[in-house]
């Protein structure tokens, strides 16, 4: 096909979309150039930029961990589990209130910081799993055959319910999360200085991601989950208990959210009943970025989103002369989401699932 | 111009797979033409190319003197091509009459805001559309079933309703994708008769995909045989029946002799 | 009793026991106890404890099973006792370990006092257990009363409790109609007096009995015998009566309730718009609040007399706001035209969030005020009247709602309505029958956005000051829930949905902390019990029905779809 033919084939909608994409790309390039070469806005040192990158990556690791839950549930049920952010919140809040505060008051935290971290993480993981299993059983399982809007609404309902349930249980104030003294301060590795918590968060989330990947690829349960994601009917024929496997999927996803919850609490040093909402939406964005349904995709999407969010505003938004660019962090994230969905709905990696099933 | 539709050297690829390969094909006005071929031969893909579901990679399709290459399905339908589907695709939560009314889209022109202001033209058009839709319903033998939910109609009625929906837009060319699939011999015979009437009485040109050889051989004036996206034979039914390449494509090498017999037998029956 | 029956009893009992425990631990009982239903006799907190026991007793006999009377009653007592077990444990723990409050904020001495009726731990537990067992017994015994008598009694009880719960409504009305003294006899500061309870119960019992015994049949007979002429006339009369009621309502209800009505009305307006997008055309839009925000901000900027505003007339601002929202609807609609289902929902959600953050940011502060919002928004005026009170705005909002209702209904029944329905059912086929998807979808987005813009405009004028946090994602979700709980695609459903999801919470504002909890639980229960909504459109009813029955058939079709694709 010649070029003119090809151009004639493009309708005005495609043209409009191309213009939209071009405008965004030009804005990003102009902003970056103005920042780096013309020195618009605040000047940052190399250390500053490294800080942006490292905190972005560690934040991204957290997004990735939470995103796993979205992506796995979407994989098996083709549903957006709006309540996933609340699984995350329930783990953080319960562990903070019932375990962490007690252990720090008794002095155990700084005597045995490693064991302390293990205990609070286990508590968070167990809570998140329990909440997830309960939600699945009550609000999702009876609706497997209902039209798609129905489980979406129950998911929204479950989200509200858990938020305000935990608010009633533990109160509405922001709870401080006790951080062991060994995680205070900075650490220098290969000449680069990190905040210790940031470093620990990144390493821990990477390890968790790898373990989960191995779990999904190597274990029998993992294989069952993949089989159910591929085709429920055939999985049933192969003797897989689909209901149990779906419940397992929720539990594993929520477990990851529980780990993320403690890491999040370490970084931000607090927990409250409303903390699930924003990470939930961001992690969901990350899952879509990577290609929803794909586990490596969720990991990549999370890291990428964290990075863009941290580096984007100081780089190209300030370069464009936008005041208080950090406020537009979320705009960067969601613009990225919209762009990806318009131009590459299958995500960075991953196949195009939604089209087929929608 | 005598041909209603003229496809020249049409090629459609999906990734590495060439589903339709260099296919040239024409449909004379007022004729009944069939495409046959084994499963996966690219028949339905070719349908989808004609109706604009797929954009063809190479070649051109000219309908009624205008190229339809790269046009969207709704535009092509408005030019006068209507279709049915292999697995029935009615608007299942709409009543029979609503299905037909939606099918009338190509010939309705009242503005969308008409009903809000109670415009006279809109009202008249709607009333006429309702009358026509009921006539069409009677024509396909669904008298009195207008308010039935289309998904609760019996199978044969659903097939007929789908044809009625296709006819509602006053098409010049009707594409039927396996219209007798799943029907018993009596229903098949009725449908065959019905298709012939469409051409004879209303003057609609018909392009047919069909597996039932009795139907194909009985009503087609011209048959094109596809295999692996390529045309391997074309001609009137008698020629096709005796074509050894066709039989080979269907049954594999070696079976040709016996198959020829059985096809002849079928025609006689 | 068999083992199966026992396990059923235990499950029901413990489940309800868990419910009682939950409402106690999160502080609902304590908070709700401040609210009297029948002054001096029953509080809402007590009702919260009693309902699970009653329900456990009622469901202790599975439907359709026949069992001897003593066994049934015994079952009722058992579930009642089981339902109280967890909370007895709670009382014991809470009374022996006061420190628990530093973990669970709402386990307070006061809660223990309420649960034990202030009689000390031992006697209190005994009393509570006795009450719950009795309620379980009553619940089980309800089955024994013959239908003819049971129905009116249950209806009357529910109505009386509802009347007491929403006594604010009748109190406000009574305050306008009667002298203070009369009102005092019937209403406490909250809830109703025992005298009023008896009156309401008797009246509703008589009415319900007459309806059950005579009225229903007579009504059905009259309906059946009515000629079309008569039917038309009775409909006309009904419409006239409805119009008169709607027009006089604000003066009957008073300022407070009219204000609630205004809020509900604005949500009805928005939900009617979203109903076109989601209900008619099947396009799931989660960023709907954006158009509401645009309508509100355009109106605010044009009419504000503050330093950000232009001080123009409201009547000039409304059309501009609607057009601006419509344009935005079209512009945001273009990129999502080719998306389906979930992806559409996500992108629209993304758009909504982008707009929300932008509104709040410093970037647009010089134009729209950032977090400080816009103050001194101009009031609408007509010669001789400036719209200031809720009652004034009521008429404006009513007019807008009627207009939106009329337009929605006409469009739905017309050609565009059929096109929307076809697109909702099957996009590909719709396109293949000659429907221009671009225009059809954009029209849906545009109409929806226009209604939201109008709603935003009225909102801005009504409140006089707008802030970014009036335009949270929560609004989009709320409106979506109204559409779905009411009955997707149904116009009366939208109205019912708005009253249930916006009106009721406004009336129960004193329970603010638990509003969203109940809202969430309501959404889940509704979807489990009645997914087609409170007032479904005929189409949804068909669809939900079909979804259950034809699930297998659909799956089969799906696999043949795949086969077809493979073959093509």
pLDDT tens column, C423-480: 998 888 999 998 988 899 999 999 999 999 999 999 999 998 888 888 888 899 899 9
Could you tell me where the DSSP H helices lie in chain B? 43-50, 73-79, 96-103, 114-117, 120-139, 155-167, 185-197, 213-219, 237-242, 244-251, 256-268
What is residue C541's predicted lDDT score, i.e. its pLDDT? 65
| pLDDT tens-digit readout, C72-90 | 888 888 899 999 999 999 9
| CB proximity under 8 Å: B 170-199 to C | none
Q: Of all helices (H) and strands (E), which one includes residue B25? A: strand B17-28
Cα separation, C436 vs C444, whole angstroms: 13
Indicate whether B186 pLDDT > 90: no
What is residue C62's predicted lDDT score, i.e. its pLDDT? 66
What is residue A3's predicted lDDT score, i.e. its pLDDT? 52
Cα separation, A316 vs A27, whole angstroms: 8
Same-domain pairing of C367 and C309: yes
Q: Which one-letter DSSP state was computed for residue C371?
A: G
Same-domain pairing of C496 and C412: yes
Within 8 A of B85 by CB-CB distance, chain C residues are 429
Q: Which distant-in-sequence residues (6+ apart) come within 8 Å of C172 by Cβ?
A: C253, C254, C256, C257
Cα separation, C188 vs C172, whole angstroms: 12
Residue among C480, C520, C523 minimizing CB distance to A164: C520
Contact A317, A336 (CB under 8 A): no
CB contact under 8 A, C337 and A13: yes
Same-domain pairing of C323 and C456: yes
Among A19, A75, A164, most C C-beta atoms within 10 A, so best to mutate, is A164
Radius of gyration of chain C (CA): 27
Among A9, A14, A147, A352, most B C-beta atoms within 10 A, so best to mutate, is A9
Cα separation, B262 vs B253, whole angstroms: 16
Contact C348, C322 (CB under 8 A): no
| pLDDT tens-digit readout, A59-72 | 999 999 999 999 99
Domain count across chain C:
3
The answer to whether residue C280 sits within a structural domain is yes
What is residue C170's predicted lDDT score, i.e. its pLDDT? 83
Buried b (16+ CB within 10 A) or exposed e, C531-540: bbbbbbbebb
CB contact under 8 A, B70 and A1: no
Same-domain pairing of C473 and C361: yes
Nearest to A113 by CA among A161, A62, A182, A63: A182
Indicate whether A111 pLDDT > 70: yes
Which of C468, C488, C505 terminates a domain? The answer is C505
Cβ neighbour number for residue C3 with a 10 Å cutoff: 7
The answer, for B106 touching chain C at a CB cutoff of 8 Å, is: yes
Same-domain pairing of C273 and C418: yes
Cβ neighbour number for residue C474 with a 10 Å cutoff: 13
CB contact under 8 A, A143 and C361: no
Indicate whether C557 pLDDT > 50: no
Within 8 A of C106 by CB-CB distance, chain A residues are 168-169, 171
What is residue C134's predicted lDDT score, i.e. its pLDDT? 92
| pLDDT tens-digit readout, A150-194 | 888 899 899 999 999 999 999 888 888 888 888 887 888 777 778
Which of C505, C521, C546 terminates a domain? The answer is C505
Complex ipTM: 0.88
Cβ neighbour number for residue A279 with a 10 Å cutoff: 25
CB contact under 8 A, A1 and B57: yes
Contact A256, A66 (CB under 8 A): yes
Residue among C413, C422, C437 minimizing CB distance to B102: C422
How close does chain A come to C495, measured CA to CA in Å? 19
How close does chain B come to C69, measured CA to CA in Å? 45
Cα separation, B122 vs B114, whole angstroms: 6
Indicate whether A127 pLDDT > 50: yes
The answer to whether residue C158 sits within a structural domain is yes
Cα separation, C427 vs C409, whole angstroms: 22
Indicate whether C167 pLDDT > 70: yes
| pLDDT tens-digit readout, C103-135 | 888 888 888 888 888 888 889 899 999 999 999
Kind of pairing between the strands at B205-209 and B32-36 = parallel
Within 8 A of B126 by CB-CB distance, chain C residues are 414-415
Residue whose entry in the numeric block shows the structure tokens 């199966």: C4
Indicate whether B255 pLDDT > 70: no
| pLDDT tens-digit readout, C153-166 | 888 999 998 888 88
CA distance to A175, B51, B166, B179, B194, per residue, from B188 (Å): 74, 25, 19, 9, 10
How close does chain A come to B26, measured CA to CA in Å? 23
Within 8 A of A274 by CB-CB distance, chain C residues are none
Same-domain pairing of C94 and C80: yes
How close does chain C come to B231, measured CA to CA in Å? 15
How close does chain A come to C165, measured CA to CA in Å? 22
The residue in chain C having the minimum alpha-carbon distance to the alpha carbon of residue B99 is C422
Q: What average pLDDT does chain A have?
A: 84
Indicate whether C327 pLDDT > 90: yes
CB contact under 8 A, B57 and A8: no
CB contact under 8 A, C531 and A20: no
Contact A348, A289 (CB under 8 A): yes
The answer to whether residue C191 sits within a structural domain is yes
How close does chain A come to B204, measured CA to CA in Å? 30
Residue whose entry in the numeric block shows the structure tokens 């929806």: C448
The answer to whether residue C421 sits within a structural domain is yes
Q: What average pLDDT score do residues C271-283 get?
A: 93
Give C340: exposed, middle or buried? Use CB within 10 Å, 0-12, 13-18, 19+. middle
Residue among A98, A233, A327 minimizing CB distance to C103: A98
pLDDT band per the 50, 70, 90 thresholds, residue A352: very low
What is residue B44's predicted lDDT score, i.e. its pLDDT? 87
Within 8 A of C567 by CB-CB distance, chain B residues are 39-40, 43-44
Query: Residue C189, SS3?
Result: coil
Cα dihedral A226, A231, A234, A236 sign: positive
Q: Which one-letter DSSP state was computed for residue A45?
A: -
Chains that touch B (3 or more CB pairs under 8 A): A, C
| pLDDT tens-digit readout, A182-232 | 888 788 877 777 888 888 888 899 999 999 999 988 899 889 988 888 888
The answer to whether residue C566 sits within a structural domain is no
What is residue C548's predicted lDDT score, i.e. its pLDDT? 53
What is residue B253's predicted lDDT score, i.e. its pLDDT? 53
What is residue B267's predicted lDDT score, i.e. its pLDDT? 44
Within 8 A of A8 by CB-CB distance, chain B residues are 70
Cβ pairs bridging B and C (under 8 Å): 112
The answer to whether residue C533 sits within a structural domain is no
Cβ pairs bridging A and C (under 8 Å): 179
CB contact under 8 A, A98 and C488: no
Within 8 A of B110 by CB-CB distance, chain C residues are 415
Cα separation, B164 vs B174, whole angstroms: 11
The answer, for B269 touching chain C at a CB cutoff of 8 Å, is: no
| Backbone dihedral region for residue A44 (phi beyond 0: left; psi -120 to 50: alpha; all else: beta) | beta
CB contact under 8 A, C524 and A154: yes
Within 8 A of C415 by CB-CB distance, chain B residues are 108, 110, 112, 114-115, 122, 126
Cβ neighbour number for residue A216 with a 10 Å cutoff: 20
The residue in chain B having the minimum alpha-carbon distance to the alpha carbon of residue A2 is B58
Domain containing C116 equals 1-144
Residue among C515, C517, C523 minimizing CB distance to A154: C523
Nearest to A312 by CA among A49, A43, A46: A49
Cα separation, C250 vs B218, whole angstroms: 75
Indicate whether A4 pLDDT > 60: no
- CA C140 and chain centroid, separation: 30
**What does the block give as tokens for A41?**
């806005």
Same-domain pairing of C279 and C373: yes
C interface with B, Cβ–Cβ < 8 A, is 406-407, 410-411, 413-416, 418-419, 421-422, 425-426, 428-437, 443, 539, 542-543, 546, 550, 557, 560-561, 564, 566-568
Same-domain pairing of C3 and C129: yes
Same-domain pairing of C161 and C271: no
Higher local confidence (pLDDT), C27 or A354: C27
Across A13-17, B74-78, C483-487, least confident range: A13-17
Same-domain pairing of C399 and C445: yes
Among C520, C528, C539, C564, most A C-beta atoms within 10 A, so best to mutate, is C520
Cα separation, A173 vs C102, whole angstroms: 13
CB contact under 8 A, C539 and B94: yes
The answer to whether residue C561 sits within a structural domain is no
What is residue A35's predicted lDDT score, i.e. its pLDDT? 78
Chains that touch C (3 or more CB pairs under 8 A): A, B
Q: What average pLDDT does chain C have?
A: 85
Same-domain pairing of C113 and C158: no
CA distance to B28, B48, C428, per residue, from B175 (Å): 14, 10, 16
To 10 degrees, what angle do helices C147-165 and C194-210 make?
Answer: 140
Buried b (16+ CB within 10 A) or exposed e, C239-269: eeeeeeeeeeebeebbeebbbbbbbbbbbbb
CB contact under 8 A, C481 and A145: no
What is residue A350's predicted lDDT score, i.e. its pLDDT? 55
CB contact under 8 A, A354 and C341: yes
Percent of chain B at pLDDT exceeding 70: 93
Strand partners, C221: none
The residue in chain B having the minimum alpha-carbon distance to the alpha carbon of residue A8 is B70
pLDDT band per the 50, 70, 90 thresholds, residue A85: very high
| pLDDT tens-digit readout, C181-208 | 888 888 887 888 888 899 999 999 999 8
How close does chain C come to B75, measured CA to CA in Å? 7
Within 8 A of A162 by CB-CB distance, chain C residues are 520
**CATH number assigned to the domain comprising residue C406:** 1.10.3470
Within 8 A of B118 by CB-CB distance, chain C residues are 410
pLDDT band per the 50, 70, 90 thresholds, residue B1: low
The answer to whether residue C539 sits within a structural domain is no
Across A280-284, B30-34, C537-541, least confident range: C537-541
Which of C124, C144, C164 terminates a domain? The answer is C144
Q: What average pLDDT score do residues C397-425 get?
A: 92
Higher local confidence (pLDDT), C66 or B5: B5
How close does chain C come to A202, measured CA to CA in Å? 27
Query: Residue C104, SS3?
Result: coil
Query: Residue B209, SS3?
Result: strand
Radius of gyration of chain A (CA): 22
| pLDDT tens-digit readout, C530-554 | 888 888 877 666 666 555 555 444 4
What is residue B264's predicted lDDT score, i.e. its pLDDT? 46
How close does chain B come to A10, measured CA to CA in Å? 9
pLDDT band per the 50, 70, 90 thresholds, residue A8: low
| Backbone dihedral region for residue C117 (phi beyond 0: left; psi -120 to 50: alpha; all else: beta) | left
Residue among B45, B91, B101 minimizing CB distance to C425: B91
Same-domain pairing of C265 and C346: yes
CB contact under 8 A, C443 and B169: no
């Amino acid at each position: 096909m010649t070029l003119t033919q090809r151009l004639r084939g493009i309708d005005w909608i495609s043209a409009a979309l191309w213009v939209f994409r071009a405008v965004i790309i030009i804005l990003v390039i102009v902003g970056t150039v103005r920042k780096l070469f013309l020195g618009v806005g605040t000047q940052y040192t190399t250390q500053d930029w490294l800080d942006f990158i490292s905190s972005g990556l560690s934040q991204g690791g957290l997004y990735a961990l939470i995103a796993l839950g979205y992506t796995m549930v979407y994989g098996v049920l083709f549903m957006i589990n709006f309540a996933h952010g609340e699984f995350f919140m329930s783990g953080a809040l319960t562990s903070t209130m019932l375990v962490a505060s007690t252990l720090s008051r008794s002095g155990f935290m700084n005597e045995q910081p490693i064991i302390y971290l293990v205990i609070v993480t286990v508590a968070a993981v167990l809570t998140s799993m329990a909440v997830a299993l309960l939600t699945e059983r009550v609000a999702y399982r009876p609706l497997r055959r209902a039209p798609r809007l129905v489980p979406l609404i129950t998911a929204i309902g479950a989200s509200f319910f858990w938020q305000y349930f935990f608010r009633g249980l533990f109160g509405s104030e922001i709870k401080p999360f006790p951080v062991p003294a060994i995680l205070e301060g900075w650490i220098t590795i290969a000449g680069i200085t990190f905040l210790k918590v940031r470093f620990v968060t990144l390493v821990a989330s990477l390890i968790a991601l790898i373990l989960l990947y191995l779990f999904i690829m190597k274990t029998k349960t993992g294989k069952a989950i993949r089989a159910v994601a591929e085709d429920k009917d055939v999985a049933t024929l192969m003797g897989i208990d689909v209901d149990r496997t779906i419940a397992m999927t929720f539990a594993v996803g929520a477990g990851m959210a529980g780990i993320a919850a403690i890491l999040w609490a370490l970084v931000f040093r607090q927990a409250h009943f409303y903390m699930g909402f924003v990470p939930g939406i961001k992690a969901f964005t990350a899952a879509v970025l990577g290609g929803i349904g794909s586990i490596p995709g969720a990991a990549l999407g999370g890291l990428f989103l964290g990075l863009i969010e941290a580096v984007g505003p100081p780089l190209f938004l300030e370069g464009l002369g936008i005041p208080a660019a950090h406020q537009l962090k979320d705009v960067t994230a969601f613009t990225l989401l919209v762009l990806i969905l318009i131009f590459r709905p299958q995500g960075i990696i991953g196949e195009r699932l939604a089209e087929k099933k929608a | 111009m005598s041909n209603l539709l003229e496809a020249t050297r049409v090629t459609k690829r999906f990734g590495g797979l060439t589903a339709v390969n260099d296919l040239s094909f024409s449909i004379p006005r007022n004729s009944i033409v069939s495409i046959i071929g084994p499963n996966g031969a690219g028949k339905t893909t070719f349908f989808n190319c004609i109706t604009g579901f797929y954009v063809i990679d190479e070649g051109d399709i000219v309908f009624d003197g205008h190229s339809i290459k790269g046009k969207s399905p709704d535009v092509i339908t408005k030019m006068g091509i209507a279709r049915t589907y292999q697995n029935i695709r009615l608007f299942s939560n709409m009543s029979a009459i609503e299905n037909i009314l939606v099918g009338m889209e190509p010939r309705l022109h009242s503005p969308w805001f008409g009903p809000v202001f109670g415009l006279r033209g809109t009202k008249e058009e709607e009333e006429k559309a309702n009358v026509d839709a009921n006539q069409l319903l009677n024509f396909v033998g669904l008298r009195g079933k207008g308010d039935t939910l289309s998904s609760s109609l019996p199978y044969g009625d659903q097939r007929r309703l789908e044809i009625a929906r296709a006819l509602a837009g006053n098409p010049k060319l009707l594409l039927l994708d396996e219209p007798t699939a799943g029907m018993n011999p009596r229903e098949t015979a009725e449908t065959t008769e019905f298709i012939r009437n469409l051409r004879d009485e209303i003057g609609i040109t018909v392009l047919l995909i069909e597996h039932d050889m009795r139907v194909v051989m009985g009503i087609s004036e011209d048959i094109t045989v596809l295999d692996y996206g390529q045309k391997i034979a074309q001609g009137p039914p008698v020629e096709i029946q005796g074509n050894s390449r066709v039989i080979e494509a269907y049954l594999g090498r070696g079976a040709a002799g016996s198959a020829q017999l059985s096809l002849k037998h079928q025609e006689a029956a | 009793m068999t083992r199966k029956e026992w396990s059923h009893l235990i499950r029901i009992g413990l489940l309800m026991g868990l419910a009682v425990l939950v409402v106690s631990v999160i502080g609902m009982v304590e908070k709700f106890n401040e609210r009297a239903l029948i002054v001096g006799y029953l509080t809402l907190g007590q009702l919260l404890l009693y309902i699970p026991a009653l329900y456990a007793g009622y469901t202790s006999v599975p439907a359709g099973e026949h069992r001897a009377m003593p066994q049934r009653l015994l079952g009722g007592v058992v579930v009642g006792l089981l339902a109280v077990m967890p909370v007895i444990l709670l009382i014991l723990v809470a009374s022996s370990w006061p420190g628990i409050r530093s973990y669970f904020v709402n386990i307070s001495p006061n809660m223990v006092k309420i649960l034990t009726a202030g009689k000390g731990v031992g006697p209190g537990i005994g009393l509570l257990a006795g009450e719950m067992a009795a309620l379980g017994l009553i619940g089980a015994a309800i089955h024994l009363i013959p239908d003819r008598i049971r129905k009116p009694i249950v209806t009357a009880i529910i109505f009386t409790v509802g009347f007491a719960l929403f006594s604010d409504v009748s109190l406000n009305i009574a305050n306008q109609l009667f002298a203070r003294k009369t009102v005092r006899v019937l209403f406490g500061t909250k809830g109703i007096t025992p005298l009023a309870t008896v009156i309401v119960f008797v009246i509703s019992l008589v009415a319900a009995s007459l309806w059950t015994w005579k009225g229903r049949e007579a009504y059905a007979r009259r309906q059946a015998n009515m000629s079309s002429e008569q039917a038309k006339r009775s409909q006309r009369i009904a419409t006239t009566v409805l119009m008169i009621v709607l027009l006089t309502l604000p003066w009957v209800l008073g300022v407070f309730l009219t204000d609630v009505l205004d809020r509900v009305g604005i949500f009805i307006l928005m939900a009617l718009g979203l109903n076109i997008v989601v209900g008619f055309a099947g396009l799931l839009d989660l960023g709907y609040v954006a158009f509401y925000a645009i309508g509100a901000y355009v109106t605010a900027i044009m009419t504000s007399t503050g330093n950000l505003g232009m001080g123009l007339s409201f009547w000039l601002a409304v059309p501009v706001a609607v057009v601006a929202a419509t344009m935005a609807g079209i512009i945001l609609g273009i990129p999502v035209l080719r998306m389906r289902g979930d992806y559409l929902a996500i992108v629209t959600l993304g758009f909504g969030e982008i707009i929300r953050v932008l509104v709040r940011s410093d970037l647009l502060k010089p134009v729209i005020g950032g977090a400080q919002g816009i103050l001194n928004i101009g009031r609408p005026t007509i010669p001789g009247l400036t719209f200031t009170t809720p009652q004034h705005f009521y008429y404006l909002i009513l007019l807008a709602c009627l207009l939106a209702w009329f337009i929605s209904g006409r469009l739905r029944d017309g050609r565009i309505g059929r096109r929307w329905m076809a697109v909702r059912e099957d996009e590909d086929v719709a396109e293949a029958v000659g429907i221009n998807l671009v225009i059809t979808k954009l029209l849906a987005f545009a109409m929806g956005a226009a209604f939201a813009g109008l709603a935003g405009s009225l909102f801005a004028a009504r409140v006089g000051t707008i802030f970014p946090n009036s335009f949270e994602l929560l609004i989009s979700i709320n409106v979506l829930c109204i559409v779905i709980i009411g009955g997707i695609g149904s116009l009366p459903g939208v109205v019912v949905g708005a009253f249930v999801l916006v009106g009721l919470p406004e009336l129960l504002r004193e329970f603010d902390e638990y509003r969203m909890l109940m809202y969430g639980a309501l959404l889940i229960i509704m979807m489990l019990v009645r997914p087609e909504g409170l007032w479904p459109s005929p189409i949804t009813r068909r669809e939900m029905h079909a979804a259950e029955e034809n699930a297998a058939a659909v799956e089969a079709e799906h696999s043949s779809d795949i086969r077809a694709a493979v073959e093509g």
